Amino acid sequence: MRTVAQYSFNGANQNATDAKQLFDKSCKAIEAWLAGKGELDANKKTLHLEDGRIAECEIERTTCDSGATAKWVVSEPSGESRFCTTLALANSGAEVALACNLSTGFTDATIAPRPFTARCPNVLRDILGIQPGWRVGESGVPCRAVKFSQAGQVDNLINLLRSPKRALPVVVISSYDGFTLHPDLAGLLSIDVCGLAIVVEINDEVAWEFTNRVGREWSCFNAGLRIYWPHLDLAGL
């Protein structure tokens, strides 16, 4: 199997009680995801999908005095290929961690390039939306686009971009006369890059104030879209 995407997060909780609740709610979200896909057999090794396909399933749960772990592996057939989703959770004291791995492979012996589509699983977005949330390093992981609609919020945008502790790229989407390149570009993009980037949507007022503050070469305006990677050259912004 070829790994096509990997995610790793830590809980944004502050104490052991919140961590345990985040772990338990995340486990329930995964169980609900499996129930929505189909029906598990008695030994929980086979998942009968609603469209008639049969997926292989592995579920492991362990507990001890110091905490708990849980892992789900779902391998689904799709034509001549298989797509595997692996989700793992761990909780110990005030710490909780989440990992997700997406991989694909082909069932025939042909050596040739093969197309595949890998998107952020719905279940991962569900988990990332559970409060108190998740983080990568010290960066929070929002599931929806962050909107700035007033010129006075430009300081918040600049501080976000300049932060030396930011671990995720920021994708800024600007409007032109109230319109973006696609009517729901921010919503669709925040779904595709959930867990991998922070999507920020700014209107015309914010875009031009942002331009006045940082200059055209660092700004984003006129229905533009720009990626700001972590560890920017702070002297230039």
pLDDT at 41: 86
Query: Residues in the chain with pLDDT < 50?
Result: none
pLDDT at 235: 62
Number of domains the chain contains:
2
Query: Which of 78, 102, 134 is the last residue in one of the domains?
Result: 134
Q: Strand pairing partners for 72?
A: 59, 87
146-148 β-sheet, strand order? 146-148, 198-202, 170-174, 225-228
pLDDT at 102: 93
pLDDT at 111: 72
Distance CA 138, CA 4 (A): 25
- What's this model's pTM, rounded to 2 decimal places? 0.86
| Domain limits for position 160 | 139-236
Residues 113 and 170 in one domain: no
pLDDT at 112: 67
Instruction: Write the CATH number for 186.
Output: 3.40.30
Residues 126 and 183 in one domain: no
